[in-house]
Homo-oligomer: A and B are copies of this chain.
Amino acid sequence: MPNLDKSLIADLPVFAGMTPDDLGDILKEAQSIRYPKGSSVFQQDEEAHSFFILLHGHLRVMKVTPDGQQVVVRFVNAGDLFGIAMAMARKTYPATATAVVDSLALVWPSAAWPRLVAKYPSLAVNTIQTVGSRLDDAHTRVVEISTQQVEKRVAHALLRLAQQAGRKSEDGIQIDFPISRQDVAEMTGTTLHTVSRILSGWEDQDLVESGRQKITIRNPHKLFMLAERPVD
């Protein structure tokens, strides 16, 4: 296998402040792996053998409850560090990651982590920030689910998706990976039926345009107002 190109990861926040030599050294321990659409990168409760950086594509991370209900924890986008369970002293992955489109990731064996962190302490410092911002997201989500009603939660979820994985098209911002009503429901703690009704309503108001596994926000500003406006 040819050496991986440093430019792949040079601009990522996790590697902020590293020299090209450092990056080369870190990359030496990684391999890149393709994950075809639908395939799983790791499974909940599986031994945390590796950690990853997504180079290309999108993953859905979800948790399954003992009684089989699913909750989408987040979507992983290009550039994101993920599967760092062992950095948090976990033996297993707390969730399942599945490719929603053909994806490509850099993969390090978990065993490399302590070694890399010892050699490059800024890696740990940057990782605290990554994990911290995820903690923030999770808290925001708790606050939202606890205090807002479904329509506003769905609006927020869509706006967030648009920001993280939106692709501008001529008539709005489209989520650039296939996403179902069920997915949105699992992100917002509701049911696909309710999401479908809400999207239908928005479609009538020309707020969004949506079809099979596809959502385009036609009027982000109006959607934002809807998401933020007080219940009055």
**A residues lining the B interface (CB < 8 Å):** 63, 65-67, 69, 71, 73, 87-90, 94-95, 117-118, 121, 124-125, 127-129, 131-136, 138-139, 141-143, 145-147, 186, 189, 228, 230-231
Contacts and interface: CB of A to CB of B under 8 A. Distances in A.
Contacts of A66: 228
Given A88-B129, A132-B131, A94 B124 contact: no
19 contacts: A63-B139, A69-B147, A71-B147, A73-B139, A73-B142, A88-B128, A88-B136, A89-B129, A89-B132, A89-B133, A90-B136, A95-B139, A128-B128, A131-B132, A138-B139, A141-B142, A142-B142, A145-B145, A146-B189
Given A67-B231, A73-B139, 18 more contacts: A67-B230, A69-B146, A71-B142, A87-B128, A87-B129, A87-B132, A89-B132, A94-B139, A121-B124, A124-B128, A127-B128, A131-B135, A135-B135, A138-B139, A138-B141, A141-B142, A145-B146, A146-B186
A138 B142 contact: yes
Nearest to A117: B125
Nearest to A118: B121
Nearest to A70: B147
A71 B144 CA distance: 10
Nearest to A228: B66
Contact of A135 (B65, B117, B134, B228): B134
Nearest to A132: B88
A76 to B, nearest CB: 15
Which residue, of A63, A121, A127, A139, has the highest number of chain B Cβ atoms within 10 A?
A139
A127 B63 CA distance: 24
